[in-house]
Homo-oligomer: A and B are copies of this chain.
Amino acid sequence: MTAGTPLPSWRPGATRDALLGFLDAARSVPRADRVAYFDNDGTLWCERPAYVQLEFFLSALRRRVADDPSIGERDEFAALLSGDQDRVCELGLARIALALAGLFEGFTPEAFTAEVRTFMATATHAALGRPMSATVYQPMLELIGELRRQDFTVGIVTGGGTEFVRAVSEDLYGVPSELVVGTLIAYDFGRDGSGRPELRRTGRVLGGANEGPVKVANIQTQLGRRPILAAGNSGGDREMLEWAVATDRPALALLVDHDDAEREFAYAGKAATLTEAEPIKETAARAGWTVVSMAGDWETVFPR
């Protein structure tokens, strides 16, 4: 990046002006309140055609099934492995995610992290033809960099598994594990053969999926500081973005719009729940959020 040219991957225009205007205005905010939280899937990196975390679990599942084919007979796994989308939808992603998380029941945190890192070091994104770790969005990395230069604390608030994202957040985004809030698996405390304390993953989810209003409550309980910038791309980010701008201080709600079929994927942000009526882009328009058009606002999408 050239000195004097902040956000080089953002094209000149209203969106870039809004970011620079916010960065400028934030200088008046006390440092302790300069807090920015980003959703991860679809906001900081590509989530199509499948969540990276789902690819990770699928790869683990395939290895388990190769060792013991009977594992693949479980309903949730059979649906996934056969690619039967109707059956997958019928079972529901929440139930399938729980079954997949169960593959790592009994693992220590260190062993789980090592598996994620091995996956990320080798997996590729077939459709984009690049390493999975290089499906992060270059313009968002630059925004994070600018925020840090202004002494912002930058965190990730994701619907994905907390430990999955923590395993890669420092490398990909420079975000330490304590600033990652996601969907949590509970641990059991126990002792190893030598009587030394150890933690083992359970199959239980703590406090439900980190989506919608749960994101706001989890930010308060786990991080304790309210953001003045929140970025997301789906209905699951609605309340977090609303909360960030419900202040008299300079604040920014940023919604990434996936409208770039050529360089990434074009799709509407998913609703947070089945009963969620208003599409997130309509909320954004009504509330005056800053909408990022990937096609229009980004000169570059992925790192070179």
Bound form: Cα–Cα A179–B221 in Å: 11
**B170–A189 touching, CB < 8 Å:** no
Asked if A198 lies at the interface with its beta carbon under 8 angstroms from chain B, I say yes
Write the nearest CB–CB distance from A153 to chain B, whole angstroms.
7
Asked if A42 lies at the interface with its beta carbon under 8 angstroms from chain B, I say no
**A189–B177 touching, CB < 8 Å:** no
Q: Please give, as numbers and ranges, the residues of chain B lying within 8 Å of A213 by CB-CB distance.
A: 189, 197
**A189–B217 touching, CB < 8 Å:** yes
Instruction: Please pick, from B109, B196, B199, the residue contacting A242 in the complex, using a CB distance under 8 A.
Output: B196
Instruction: Please pick, from B179, B197, B221, the residue contacting A186 in the complex, using a CB distance under 8 A.
Output: B221
Residues of chain A touching chain B, judged by Cβ–Cβ distance below 8 Å, are: 32, 109, 153, 155, 162-163, 166, 170, 176-180, 184, 186-189, 196-199, 206-207, 213-214, 216-217, 220-226, 239, 242-243, 246
Given known A32-B170, A109-B220, A187-B221, contact A246–B178 (CB-CB < 8 A):
no
Q: A177-B225, A178-B225, A189-B213 are in contact. List 5 more A-B contacts (CB 8 A).
A: A109-B224, A153-B178, A155-B178, A176-B225, A197-B216
Q: Please give, as numbers and ranges, the residues of chain B lying within 8 Å of A216 by CB-CB distance.
A: 189, 197, 199
Bound form: Cα–Cα A245–B35 in Å: 33
Given known A177-B224, A223-B178, A239-B189, contact A246–B206 (CB-CB < 8 A):
no
Q: Please give, as numbers and ranges, the residues of chain B lying within 8 Å of A163 by CB-CB distance.
A: 224
Q: Please give, as numbers and ranges, the residues of chain B lying within 8 Å of A224 by CB-CB distance.
A: 109, 162-163, 166, 177-178, 180
**B162–A221 touching, CB < 8 Å:** yes
